[in-house]
């Protein structure tokens, strides 16, 4: 049997599972979009400080997207109005910039309490998630920041979550499966007695924001679709210090941990290559992980 020439494996097509196989030339567009997202996440770092508001941070991000000649993928997405999601402390994801920050310790079990404002306080841990569209390509990434001095257990949570993302990425190569990625993340996180959120997942992307497959952050080795060169997707594990369960607040966006435990998340957009992966959203300044 003849082997298919390597250059052919990137021909544009869709797998039986509905996953787009991009052409080799498409990697350049994803690198450009991803680099812009990462540059914005680099530049916003100095603004994540005690007293700064999430509304101001989002306004800066919106201006940076515009300045770069790109557009925000999230403004207008399902009625969402902001250029970022900013998720503080026990907010798991989809925190709304400018909205009063949900309080970590609620006295009432039924009513989610809110702070008076969207200003960051000493010790807050903050996920900022930005998705841009540049020349039609989507760059989606999020990382953790800290305002002031976080608690030791919060630093540990951030470290483990970042390492979990990287373990997932290291499982990316042709012939491995999406179940291998999920398993790498879940086994690492649970080995550190933390929990992986199962209510949200990563996703295929490219010329669209969300495409097949759902990239689960848990799973069994050898299960789910087989990875092929030319697949583009995000890996974006959310990890909780307590239990995995989440709930969505009355604003219909903000997802929080049910037990009010701290939650962290990191997200990269990546592409599968002939022998592994390329990360599109690597930090040009080497600032992907916060310093404490």
Q: Which of 143, 151, 150 is nearest to 269 (CA)?
A: 143
Distance in Å, CB of 203 to ligand MF3, minimum: 6
Distance in Å, CB of 210 to Co ion, minimum: 7
Judged by CB under 6 A, does residue 37 bind ligand MF3?
A: no
Binder among 140, 182, 184, 219 for ligand MF3 (CB under 6 A) = 140
Judged by CB under 6 A, does residue 267 bind ligand MF3?
A: yes
- For residue 270, CA distances in Å to 94, 138, 206, 263, 266 come to 21, 11, 10, 23, 13
Judged by CB under 5 A, does residue 140 bind Co ion?
A: yes
Distance CA 231, CA 204 (A): 8
Judged by CB under 6 A, does residue 77 bind ligand MF3?
A: yes
Q: Which of 67, 69, 39 is nearest to 136 (CA)?
A: 69
- How many chain residues bind ligand MF3 (CB under 6 A)? 12
Element (H, E) at 220: none
Quick check: 231 and 221 in contact, CB under 8 A?
A: no
Residue ranges with strand state E in 223-273: 232-235, 238-240, 246-248, 255-257, 263-265, 268-272
The residues facing 248 across adjacent strands are: 255
Ramachandran area for residue 175 (φ above 0: left; ψ -120 to 50: alpha; else beta): left
Candidates 72-80, 119-127, 168-176, 212-220; binding stretch for ligand MF3 (CB under 6 A): 72-80
Distance CA 31, CA 289 (A): 20
Nearer to ligand MF3, 83 or 104 (CB): 83
Residue with tokens 């992966």: 277
Candidates 71-79, 152-160, 173-181, 212-220; binding stretch for ligand MF3 (CB under 6 A): 71-79
Nearer to Co ion, 26 or 140 (CB): 140
Candidates 75-83, 101-109, 188-196, 212-220; binding stretch for ligand MF3 (CB under 6 A): 75-83
Judged by CB under 6 A, does residue 58 bind ligand MF3?
A: no
**DSSP at 58:** H
Judged by CB under 6 A, does residue 62 bind ligand MF3?
A: no
- How many chain residues bind Co ion (CB under 5 A)? 5
Distance in Å, CB of 116 to ligand MF3, minimum: 24
Can you give the binding site for ligand MF3, defined by CB under 6 A? 74, 77-78, 80, 85, 94, 129, 131, 140, 234, 236, 267
Can you give the binding site for Co ion, defined by CB under 5 A? 129, 140, 142, 234, 267
């Amino acid at each position: 049997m003849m082997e298919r020439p390597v250059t052919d494996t990137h021909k544009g097509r869709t797998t039986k599972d509905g996953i787009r196989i991009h052409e080799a030339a498409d990697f350049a567009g994803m690198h450009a979009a991803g680099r812009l997202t990462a540059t914005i996440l680099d530049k916003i770092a100095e603004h994540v400080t005690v007293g700064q508001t999430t509304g101001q941070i989002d306004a800066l991000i919106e201006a940076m997207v515009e300045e770069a000649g790109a557009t925000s993928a999230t403004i207008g997405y399902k009625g969402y109005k902001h250029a970022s999601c900013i998720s503080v402390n026990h907010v798991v994801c989809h925190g709304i910039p400018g909205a009063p920050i949900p309080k970590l310790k609620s006295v009432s079990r039924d009513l989610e309490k809110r702070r008076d404002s969207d200003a960051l306080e000493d010790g807050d841990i903050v996920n900022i998630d930005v998705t841009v569209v540049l020349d039609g390509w989507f760059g989606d990434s999020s990382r953790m920041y800290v305002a002031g001095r976080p608690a030791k257990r919060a630093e540990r949570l951030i470290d483990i979550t970042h390492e979990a993302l990287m373990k997932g990425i290291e499982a990316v190569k042709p012939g491995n499966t999406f179940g291998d990625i999920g398993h790498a993340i879940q086994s690492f996180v649970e080995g550190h007695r933390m929990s992986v959120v199962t209510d949200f997942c990563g996703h295929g992307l490219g010329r669209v924001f969300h495409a097949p497959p759902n990239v689960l952050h848990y799973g069994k080795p050898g299960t789910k679709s087989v990875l092929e060169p030319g697949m583009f997707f995000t890996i974006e594990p959310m990890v909780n210090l307590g239990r995995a369960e989440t709930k969505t607040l009355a604003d219909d966006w903000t997802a929080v941990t049910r037990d009010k435990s701290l939650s962290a998340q990191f997200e990269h957009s990546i592409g599968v290559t002939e022998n592994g992966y390329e990360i599109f959203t690597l930090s040009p300044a080497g600032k992907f992980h916060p310093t404490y």
